[in-house]
Amino acid sequence: MERPGSDVLPPRDKGRFAVTKTASDEYVFRAVPLRNVELTAPYFHSSKVWNLEQAVAVMGVAQLCQELTPQETSDIAPFLRTLTGQQPRVELPFLPASTAETPQPEPLVKNSLEKGDAVGKQNSLR
C-alpha cells in the first residue's frame, strides 16, 4: 500500500504519529463515515481534493494499491453519492438577553485543594 502523494498529504499534520511516535502511524487518520460524503468536500486532512471522483482515485492507490480505471472511478463515485441523506435540522435555542437580575455563573475552582477537599490534601502529600 502507498500513502497519497505530497499533493494530498497535509504538510504539518502527521496524523496518529503525533501520539504514538510509531513510523507506521505517519499520516494515519481516523476514517470518516461515508454517509453524506458527497456534501463533505474538500476531502482528506489537507483539504486539497474537491472532486469526489479524484478522491476515489487517490484512495484506490492508497488503500487498494492499484490505480482505478476511469470506469471504476465513475462507478464508485455515484454509489457514494447514494449515501447522501437528509441533513438533520439543528435548531439553536433562543436565549433572552441578560439583565442586571440575571444570575452570574460561579467561578470555576481549579482543583480540589482550593475547595479544602481532604482527599485532595491527602493525595497531595503522597
Residue 104 lies in a domain: no
Residue 55 lies in a domain: yes
Which residue would you say has higher pLDDT here, 121 or 32?
32
Say which range, 41-50, 69-78, 82-91, has the weakest mean pLDDT: 41-50
Domain enclosing residue 39, as ranges: 17-81
Residue 60 lies in a domain: yes
Residue 96 lies in a domain: no
Residue 97 lies in a domain: no
Residue 10 lies in a domain: no
Domain count, the chain: 1
Q: Work out the mean pLDDT of the chain and round it to a whole number.
A: 78
Residue 88 lies in a domain: no
Check: CB of residue 57 under 8 Å from CB of residue 67. Answer: yes
Tens digit of each residue's pLDDT (9 = 90 or more) over 26-70:
767 767 788 898 998 898 767 889 999 999 998 888 778 889 999
Residue 93 lies in a domain: no
Nearest 10 degrees: CA dihedral of 14, 15, 19, 20?
-80
Say which CATH number the domain at 53 has. Answer: 1.10.760.10
